Structure 1
Amino acid sequence: MTKRFNFWDHFDEAYTHLEKKHKSRLTDDKLVSFASELALKLVEIDFKEKENAYNYEKAEAEIKNLILQSKTQNEALQIEKLKSLVQAHAMLLSVGDNAAINKANAVVSFLNVVGNASNERMVASYTNEVMTLINQISNKDMSEDYKPLLDKIKELANEGFEDGRGVKELGIICPRVKLRINEAVEINAYTMYANKEHYFELEGRRYEGTCLFFISEAAGEYELSFKARNHKNELLSTSIKLRVIEEN
């Protein structure tokens, strides 16, 4: 029956059907009464189905939005990790360079003092002491001392980049998993890698896309999988179980 959400359309259909089937046993008043009751129930069902469809679409949109937010936040976090790692590496490399620059500046400053001194003997008496202090400025390469720690930080940062931590990369959205024989249900799936290969798999058969209509003529339990490849071309998989029962 077409969903028109119109009482009179449903009334006409119900009245025509009742008239054909029960004209000999029902008066016109009864036909009108029964047709009205049926029309009201059908309108109520139509609106309930429309409400359910709206809630389902709303939930799906919210889930997709959460995925996008999580992905964006995860990417921002990885960028901050990378920036901090680069800064730490740059600081480590600059220690020796800064020491060498400071040492050279100290020597130049002392030479200026010597060159402008009026009492050369007095300055000469301090030369060894001053140069000893200047030579204590070390431009030793410290990168080897901190290399194990820096490597550990790199390893932790790479883990975050590789596994998309905190973000569910694919999933299945199904309004109900318990169905009657010949009852259809629309099943949707999502993946963070929409441009990569993705498909449903049911009883050894493959169904392309992220939307699947499921219906079964036989009772039983069915395992439905959704599979998708990630940015490393690895095949990821998630699944649900659908239970089909006979009508009471």
Structure 2
Amino acid sequence: MSSISKDLHEFREIVAAEISALNDRVRDLERHVEERDNEVADLTRDLAAARSDIKALQERTENAEKNSRIPCLILSGGAMASRRKAVLGAPLPVDGSAPRAPTSDSSAAEPAGSGGAPVSARERGPAAARRAGEPEDVGGLVISAVRARLPGLSITEQDIDRAHRLPGPNNKVIVRFVRSGPGSVRDQLMSRRLELKGQDLFINESLTAGKSQIYRSLLEAKKTQMIYTVFTRWGHVFFKSEKFGTSTRVDSIEKLRELRFPVKQ
């Protein structure tokens, strides 16, 4: 019996030692897991803070760009088509023979003035000057188009800071005005642009890339009759669900998704 008791005692000691070792390992694992959990929690907080900072920076950048674009309007349509005339080559001789090659004599290449001296592009008139490479007067085109289609709206060269063409279809021209507050030419153009319905001139605000995507998405929603209308004011995008309903401003793609509108890329 004493031998059995001794063996049982030793077995209990061995089991107790192994259980103690296992407990130590479990406690060690729990400590490591807790440390990792704390690290994950810290990283999650840091990531959330970084995302918040990035969003704030994006909003500041968006607002800064929006404010810089407020003085600008985009005019397009047939009224903004270039008035440059195509430069035609020399006509073929009546007898059908090949045209003569140009000579090296400058007097043969250029019309002669008094005394046979070559005449400059400026002396040959505006049309020849345009052919010689002078830039198009886009500002003058804008002024004449607006005056012809919106009688009573006073617009002069002094109202325009600069104007130039944009790439793409529909003869787009971007115009930056000297003033953009209430009563300015820019403000008057936006207020009276609905008078241009059915004409060959369209006037729109210059939007940021983010606001342009929101506008395109809401315009698509209008086409599918999800909303009544979409419009912009001072760089912001609004829509109305009904004709006499209230206007809702959409400032982000997230807001667009919250309202269950499809996002157009």
TM-score (norm 1): 0.31
Query: Hey, which of these two has a bigger chunk of strand by percent?
Result: 1
Query: Which protein, 1 or 2, shows the higher relative CO under an 8 Å CA cutoff with sep ≥ 6?
Result: 2
TM-score (norm 2): 0.30
